[in-house]
Amino acid sequence: MRRRPNTARAPFAPLVFLIALISGWSVASSPETSPSPAPGPLTLPKSTWTRERQALHLLNRAAFGPRKEDLAEVLGIGPSEWLARQLEPSRVPDSALEKRLREFPVLSYPASRMYEEFPRPEQLAAARGIKRDDPDARERLRELIPPEKRPREIDRQMTAQKLLRAAESKRQLQEVLTDFWFNHFNVSMEKSHTRWLAPSYERDAIRPHVFGRFRDLLGATARHPAMLFYLDNWMSTRDGLSRGDLLLAAAGEGYPRLLRRLEARKALETTEEAARSRLGLNENYARELLELHTLGADSGYSQQDVREVARCFTGWSMGRPRGGPSRLRDAEPGTFVFRAAAHDDGPKAVMGLAIPAGGGIQDGERILDFLARHPSTARHLAFKLAQKFISDAPPAPLVEHLASVYLETDGDLSRVYRALFSSPEFWAEEAWLAKTKTPLEFTVSAIRATGAATDGGPLLTKELVQMGQPLYRCQPPTGYKETADAWITPGALVSRMNFAVSLASGRLYGTELPARSRNEEPPGSLESEVDRLALQILGRPLAPATRAIAIEKLARNRAPSPGAPDGSSTETIIALILGSPDFQKQ
């Protein structure tokens, strides 16, 4: 018996909770939002699997693949205790990694400081009085900005820290979930300002909430400038608002000269100009909020609902960097601001929920409350989690079970993860090696399996681009797909095989195998050497067909002629294992 009776709590939590959420909630919510104390080790279903297999399976899914030390730990304390610790990452010391992360200052800058540290070229040109039609403008700007202050540096630090954390953090589940939820609430650094805001987005909006309540995660993304900018909500206003009125309202009393200038300007505006400067509703965020972040596609909302939700979020905006086109001075650049003047304060109705007039910023919060508690959201999130951790087509009863846990616990994500990892489906024969690794999982698991040391540097990042997964640069708000069909294409597969060869042969600058595993004469027979390395890297024997092909070819390659390089070296065997179909699965 596994299904819990549905009696503990009604799907919609008591009103007290709602009020608490609305009133006590702020953007800078601390990581300690998890509402329930750690409930200790998980009760896992009885398994016929060996302890090794259980440990491998767990590390394949709840981590970025097995690594020698982690495997030993799971075998030592058991999967249940390992999971309990992972679900409460503050219990897992990670100081070695934390020390390394100090190399990446973007991780500590508040969003507003990012623009100072990494000036936008246009901004700097304005500040230094460089005329933009000056033919040498580009050159002069390049001279002014040292390489470590160029926007590209943000990308370098972000991708490197992500790869390092994935490969080396002891808090593996936290890294897996940070990746999962960033992808769920995707923003792309490809879209101008998002680049400056992404470090704060991951640090402040995603990471602190992945073990907390979904409502907190949802709220933090909704208010974060990276999301406001990426999905255009920052510019969404009530229909018909004129630019002049918005500027006037936002200029604030601290800027009397600016106010006077704006007023003078507005008085001179012709009706035609005024008509042209009308602002209005932008539905992008509202649509993706319903379709991707919460309810899921085809869950019964209409275009009219999208519009109503968009009206609720009018005025949710951000401070823009100085030197940019905006004269709005009501907020620090890169911080959230609610512009009451831009908000549509009329009554709204969303999927039967009435939002009375005059709610101001609470309109949006009410929508988020409503969506976070909706059964469609529960099912949508349950499906995505099951697809991520179990199989591309997860069993429907499990999805239903996870959805009910979500509703019973008012969206307590840790409780949903616990239900997932203690489900018989997670430990079922059908789940074993059922997932195909994404490029990120493939690359990082290869590093972990071989015990390679990496700096997460540009060569590694480039490999991921070739495999189709440029980090932080997934263009559409859907995020990257979780299913095998999205990743296994001819171009990408060739890149995977080439990555295996590069890594094994030491040609991936910045990522190196431990010295002993390279260029070492196989001590025993070819067969025993292949089996030994397969066990070390995969944690299991190669599939019979793969093994036979590998051994046959290797035997043929062994010292083809005197003096020629040996084509059956340890290096070759490692390359073959990492590039094999077997290693693509987890």
Partner 1 sequence: MNRRELLRSSGIVLGGFGLVPAIARAALSSPASSRRKTLVIVFQRGAADPLSILPPHGEPLYYSSRPAIAIPAPGKGDGAALSLDSTFGLHPALSALKPLWDRKALGAVISTGSADPTRSHFDAQDYMETGTPGRKSTEDGWLNRTLRALPREGRSPWRAVSLSDSTPRSLTGREPSVSLPRISTFRLSGAQGTDGTFESMYLSAAGTALGPAASETVDALALLRKENVLAIGPENGAAYPSSELGQRMRQIAQLVKSGIGVTVAATDCGGWDTHLGQGSSRGQLANRLEDLGNSLAAFATDLGERLADVATVVMTEFGRTVRENGTRGTDHGHGSVMLVLGGPVKGREVRGTFRGLHPANLYEGRDLPVTTDFRQVLSEILEAHLGIRDTTEIFPGYIRSGTSRTGIV
Q: Does 326 participate in binding partner 1 (rule CB under 8 A)?
A: no
Q: Does 537 participate in binding partner 1 (rule CB under 8 A)?
A: no
How near is the Cβ of 455 to partner 1 at its closest, in Å?
Answer: 22
Per CB under 8 A, contacts with partner 1 among 136-195 are: 137, 188, 190-192
Among 109-117, 174-182, 464-472, 522-530, which window interacts with partner 1 (CB under 8 A)?
Answer: 464-472
Q: Does 546 participate in binding partner 1 (rule CB under 8 A)?
A: yes
Q: Does 133 participate in binding partner 1 (rule CB under 8 A)?
A: yes
Helix or strand (DSSP H, E) at 348: strand 348-350
Q: Exactly one of 47, 123, 299, 498 binds partner 1 (CB under 8 A); which one?
A: 498
CA-to-CA dists, residue 294 to 105, 156, 185, 382, 402, angstroms: 33, 31, 10, 11, 15
Q: Exactly one of 284, 299, 326, 536 binds partner 1 (CB under 8 A); which one?
A: 284
Q: Does 568 participate in binding partner 1 (rule CB under 8 A)?
A: yes
CB atoms within 10 A of CB 333: 23
> What's the one-letter identity of residue 511?
T
Q: Does 521 participate in binding partner 1 (rule CB under 8 A)?
A: no
Residues 6+ apart with CB under 8 A from 17: 410
CA terminus-to-terminus distance, the chain: 28
Question: What is the rounded distance in angstroms from the CA atom of residue 159 to the CA atom of residue 165?
Answer: 10
Residue indicated by tokens 């070296």: 569
Per CB under 8 A, contacts with partner 1 among 379-408 are: 392
Q: Does 294 participate in binding partner 1 (rule CB under 8 A)?
A: no
Q: Does 428 participate in binding partner 1 (rule CB under 8 A)?
A: no
Q: Does 504 participate in binding partner 1 (rule CB under 8 A)?
A: yes
Q: Does 563 participate in binding partner 1 (rule CB under 8 A)?
A: no
Q: Does 429 participate in binding partner 1 (rule CB under 8 A)?
A: no
Tell me the DSSP string of 57-98: HHHHHHSSS--HHHHHHHHHHHHHHHHHHHTSGGGS--HHHH
Do β-strands 336-338 and 353-355 pair in parallel, antiparallel, or remain unpaired?
unpaired
Q: Does 414 participate in binding partner 1 (rule CB under 8 A)?
A: no
Question: What is the rounded distance in angstroms from the CA atom of residue 366 to the CA atom of residue 360?
Answer: 11
Size of the site for partner 1 (CB under 8 A): 67
Query: Residue 501 is encoded by which pair of tokens?
Result: 């060869």
> What's the one-letter identity of residue 290?
L
N residues, the chain: 586
Q: Given the complex with partner 1, which of 352 and 544 has the nearer CB atom?
A: 544
Strand partners, 349: 354
How near is the Cβ of 580 to partner 1 at its closest, in Å?
Answer: 5
Q: Kindly list the residues in this chain that would bind partner 1 in the complex (CB under 8 A).
A: 131-135, 137, 188, 190-192, 231-232, 272, 276, 284, 287-288, 291-292, 297, 392, 436, 465-466, 468, 470, 475-478, 481, 484-485, 488-491, 493-494, 497-498, 501-502, 504-505, 543, 545-546, 549-550, 553-554, 557, 565-569, 571-572, 575-576, 579-581, 584-585
